[in-house]
Amino acid sequence: MSVVDRVHALVVPLCLDAGVELFDVEHNGGVLRISVERDGGVDMEAIRSLTKAVSRALDEADPIPGRYTLEISSPGLERRLRTPAHFAWALDKMIRIKTRPHVEGDRRVQGTLQDADDQGIAVVDDESGALRRLRYDEIDKARTVFEWGPTPKSKSPRKATS
């Protein structure tokens, strides 16, 4: 079992207790990143209490050899997509992809995610309107794209004219 799998199994019940859902666990070098979410967003109090609980559980179970820094946060508005589950969550959302070198076609693609399964994804390219299929091993980086709504109209008072 990998470090990420051991941490994932340890953290899921703690997230449920804290009223949040585990989005991702990532262990790169000396950093363990845990991303959590919940409807309406994750506030700092939830992050604080979960950090204490996770830190205590990691100290007791010791699933990671050596030293590391623990980071717990929300995945944010533009979420990194790494796993088939992340892509399945992002169906019908706008995403941006950078393919690995030597993958046929444009290296950067932005569009609506139409399909995601265990082998790869299908995205409708914004520029060409074409459906592009990619295997997960062809994707270097991917993330959701937050689409801002129209700018609200100003409600400033009008000057009186004489």
Domain boundaries, the chain: 3-73, 84-144
The span from the CA of 28 to the CA of 17, in Å, is 26
What are the strands, taking DSSP E only, across 5-155? 21-28, 31-37, 69-73, 94-99, 108-116, 120-125, 131-135, 139-144
Distance of CA 26 to the CA centre of its chain: 11
Q: What fold is seen in the domain 3-73?
A: GMP Synthetase; Chain A, domain 3 (3.30.300)
Q: Which fold has domain 84-144?
A: SH3 type barrels. (2.30.30)
Locate 37 and state its tokens: 């979410």
**What confidence tens digit (pLDDT) does each residue in 6-33 have?**
999 999 999 999 999 999 999 988 999 9
Give me the amino acid identity at 20.
Answer: V
pTM of the model: 0.73
Task: Write out pLDDT tens, residues 95-121.
Answer: 999 999 999 999 999 999 999 999 999
Do residues 14 and 49 make contact, with C-beta atoms less than 8 angstroms apart? no
User: Quick one: CA dihedral 121, 27, 72, 61, positive or negative?
Assistant: positive
